Structure formats: C-alpha cells, structure tokens
C-alpha cells in the first residue's frame, strides 16, 4: 500500500525552487520506485513573482508559519531559507508541532543542532540535514549508513565550491585572486559579499557537522582553526605547481589517541592526490577508516538541483523509515569535557620569504628554524636580487613540525633584519 506524505517548503530561493521542481516533476517516479506519494501541500515565501515563476498553485501558498504547522496534512517541513534568524524560528515551530524537518542550512545546524535535536526528540519527530554539507554528495548518509563499521581516523575535503572554483582559475589560468573572484561572482558561484565562502566560514560550519558525525563526539565550530583564501598569491600557486603541489582550501579533521584536530585553511597537496584533480565548483571528501582504509566521495557541491537531490533524499528517507535516527553522540552546545582538541597540530610547511641577497642570510634563517625545532627538507631561491631591489624570494619546505614552532620562527624572522615572511602554507600528504 502506498504511503502518502505531505510536505511544506519554507523559502523558494535557489535550493527551495529546485526542491519544489524536483518533488513536483518526480512525484510519479517516487511513487513507483519508493512506494511513497510525496505531495507539496504548502509553500511559504513572500516573493509572489517567484511563486508564479515556479507555477505554485494558489491553494498551496501559505500565509504564515502558523498556518503551515497547524496543517494536519503536512508531515515534513523543508527549510531552505538559510541563516539562523527566522529560519531557526520556523524550524523550532515545526518541530514543536511534531513535524519532521529537513534542512539545507549548515550554519543553523552547526550552531543550533543541539537545541533543535532536543525539541525533535521531545516531540518524536526527525531532523535531517544531508543537504547542509557538500551539496548533492551523500556524505552524511555515508557516515551514518555506509561506513559505520569503521573508526574514522581522518577526513579531508574540498567542501566549498566557490573557493574551489577561484583556486582552479588561479591554478589553471594564472589569474590573480581578485580576477578569479570577479569571474566567480559573474557566474553566480560567489555572492556580492563573498566573505562567508572565501574566509572559510562556510567550510568551518560543514567541518563541524561532519567531524562530529565521523568522530561520534560534538565538535563545535568554534574549535575549528579557520583561514580563508583572500590572501593567497598566484605566485605561490605557480611555485607549488613547479614542485609538484596543488593548492586547495581543505577542511581537515583528524582523530587520534592524542585528541581531535579540526582546521580549515589553504593547503598544498601532492598533485597526484585524488583531491588535487577536483576542479571548478566540484566538491569531494576523502575519508580514512580502520577497516576500509581510504574512500573518496565526489560530485557537485552546490546548485539548485544537486542540493535539491540531497533535500529530497532526506524527505524520502524520513517518509520510508519509521525509526527516527538522532545523533550518535551527546549533542550539546559545547564539547564534552573529556574530549581534547589539538591546536598545536603537526604539519609540513611551505614558507616563502623575501630576504636580502647577501652572504650569511641563509645561515641566519636556518639558525632560527633550528632553534625552533624545525627540520628543513628543501630550500630554493626563485629569481634574482635585481628583480626586487636587492631582495630574493626564498622558498623553504619543512618536515612535519608543530604549528606553534612555525609561528615562533616566523615572528623571529619578521622581527629581525633578515627579511620578511610573505607566505606560510601547510602541506598535507
């Protein structure tokens, strides 16, 4: 016997519009393949032009969230408004009325999932958010239902399409950051104010969600070390290519007996690494488990229909599973007191200095590094002093060393008469 499920959609922007079209256009397909009849009962959006553009029937247009949550024909509420203001208010209202919620809102889930899940548990309804991370790539479902036999020790991912597009253009076409950003904005990949993406906030929210699920403990977004790409130089990207590295904005999570480290920052990886070939607005997540070893999920990380695919996947899952799944960890506002977070993590480093082209400089630089316990793999001089008023670029690649040791060495060099440190980029194998 087919099951009828009524849904409401809050917000008809890019993702909401894609979700509406997907549900309407594929209704018969879902009935045939999943034995569930998903009916869009209500849509809540103030933009009448958008409602008309998508062909939403007048009888489906809701006037308020109160009208939506009071409707007994609605079983699942889909939130695609975004942000933590009115979106959170509407989601809480739905959960309090026992409506299962499906959302694509990574900021809200990262910051407020502990509150929302508590309400969902109290009212015996679900809270699903596959679409909050990595667009159409089913990373959350994989963590919950695909690799749960494993102790996940590491994840490393390209989880923001905007920054990956910008870095791709800087790498492949030699464009500088400003030019690549402008192109991304023209194509709709970047917002007019791109801060959320280019400064790593978006990736930070996603890493908080994914690492909490992968490591089965709450990882607050405030524990994530965050750096963006706005200061990345095309010069460093080009030098990296010469020595076999590709630059990506990576979300990195590691779980060891020493603790958890979570960080978002520009990273050089070997050009032969699977993540190095992920170009343009595509995303990918690389997982390492103690049983399966390595696995990578790859696909479109944003856009109306890839994200709608993840939203509708959650709707179908909720409609066809009577048992509700909640977090596999204690979901609280802060991390558990017994969990240790590593801020002084270890990494290899690419460091570019601008130094005087004279005898003794290299010895002074090496001395500072040595006194800070930093072992050098390779030193290269790029260009000549005639190109930059008597200074030369000096490139140093280190062995794996501590973050604080590098910070101390950089501070010492910048405070000396040796020269200045122009770039510090972490290197992951």
DSSP string, 113-166: HHHHHHHHHHTT--EE-GGGSSTTS-HHHHHHHTSTTS-EEEEEEE--HHHHHH
Whole-angstrom CA distances from 76 to 6, 38, 166, 259 are 6, 10, 37, 38
- How many Cβ atoms sit within 10 Å of the Cβ of residue 304? 17
| CA Rg value for the chain | 24
Count of other CB atoms within 10 angstroms of residue 313: 18
Q: How far apart are CA 352 and CA 245, in angstroms?
A: 15
Report the distance separating Cα 213 and Cα 209, nearest Å.
Answer: 6
Q: Which residues, other chains included, contact 314 with Cβ-Cβ below 8 Å and sequence gap of 6+?
A: 102, 128, 129, 130, 131
Asked whether the beta carbons of 134 and 313 are under 8 A apart, the reply is no
Rounded-to-integer distance, Cα 288 and Cα 267, Å: 18
Identify the CA nearest to 217 among candidates 187, 260, 250, 181: 260
Q: Running DSSP on this structure, what letter comes out for residue 46?
A: S
The C-alpha atoms of residue 399 and residue 133 are separated, in whole angstroms, by 33
| Token couple for 63 | 């006037």
End-to-end CA distance of the chain: 52
The C-alpha atoms of residue 71 and residue 111 are separated, in whole angstroms, by: 29
Task: Note the maximum CA span of the chain.
Answer: 84
Q: Is 386 exposed, middle or buried (0-12, 13-18, 19+ CB in 10 A)?
A: exposed
Using CB atoms within 10 A of its CB, is residue 83 exposed (0-12), middle (13-18) or buried (19+)? exposed
Please tell me the distance from the alpha carbon of residue 223 to that of residue 216, in angstroms, as a whole number: 15
Active site (catalytic) residues: 206
Give the rounded distance of the alpha carbon of 336 from its chain centre. 23
What pairs with residue 171 in β-bridges? none
């Amino acid at each position: 016997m087919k099951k009828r499920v009524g849904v409401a959609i809050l917000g008809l922007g890019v993702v909401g519009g894609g979700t509406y079209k997907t549900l309407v256009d594929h209704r018969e397909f879902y009935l045939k393949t999943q034995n569930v009849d998903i009916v869009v009962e209500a849509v809540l959006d103030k933009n009448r032009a958008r409602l008309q553009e998508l062909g939403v029937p007048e009888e489906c247009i809701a006037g308020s969230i109160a009208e939506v949550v009071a409707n007994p024909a609605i079983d699942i509420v889909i939130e695609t408004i975004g942000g933590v203001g009115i979106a959170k208010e509407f989601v809480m209202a739905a959960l309090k009325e026992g409506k299962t919620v499906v959302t694509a809102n990574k900021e809200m889930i990262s910051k407020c999932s502990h509150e929302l899940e508590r309400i969902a548990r109290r009212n015996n309804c679900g809270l699903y958010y596959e679409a909050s991370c990595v667009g159409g790539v089913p990373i959350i479902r994989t963590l919950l239902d695909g690799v749960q036999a494993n102790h996940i020790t590491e994840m490393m991912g390209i989880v923001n399409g905007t920054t990956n597009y910008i870095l791709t253009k800087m790498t492949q076409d030699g464009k500088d950051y400003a030019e690549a950003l402008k192109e991304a904005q023209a194509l709709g990949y970047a917002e007019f104010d791109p801060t959320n993406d280019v400064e790593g906030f978006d990736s930070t929210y996603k890493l908080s969600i994914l690492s909490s699920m992968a490591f089965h403990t709450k990882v607050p977004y405030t524990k994530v070390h965050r750096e963006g790409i706005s200061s990345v130089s095309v010069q460093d990207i080009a030098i990296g290519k010469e020595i076999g590295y590709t630059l990506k904005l990576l979300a990195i999570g590691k779980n060891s007996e020493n603790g958890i480290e979570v960080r978002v920052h520009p990273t050089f990886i070997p050009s032969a690494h699977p993540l190095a070939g992920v170009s343009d607005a595509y995303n990918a997540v690389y997982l390492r488990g103690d049983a399966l070893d390595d696995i990578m999920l790859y696909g479109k990380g944003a856009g109306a229909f890839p994200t709608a695919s993840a939203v509708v996947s959650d709707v179908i899952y909720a409609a066809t599973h009577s048992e509700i799944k909640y977090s596999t960890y204690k979901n609280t506002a802060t991390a558990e007191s017994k969990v240790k977070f590593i801020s002084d993590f270890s990494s290899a480093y690419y460091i570019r200095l601008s130094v005087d082209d004279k005898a003794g400089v290299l010895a002074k630089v090496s001395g500072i590094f040595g006194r800070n316990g930093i072992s050098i793999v390779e030193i290269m001089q790029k260009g000549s002093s005639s190109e930059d008023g008597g200074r030369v670029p000096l490139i140093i690649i280190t062995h794996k060393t501590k973050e604080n040791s590098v910070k101390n060495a950089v501070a010492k060099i910048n405070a000396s008469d040796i020269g200045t440190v122009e770039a510090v980029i972490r290197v992951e194998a």
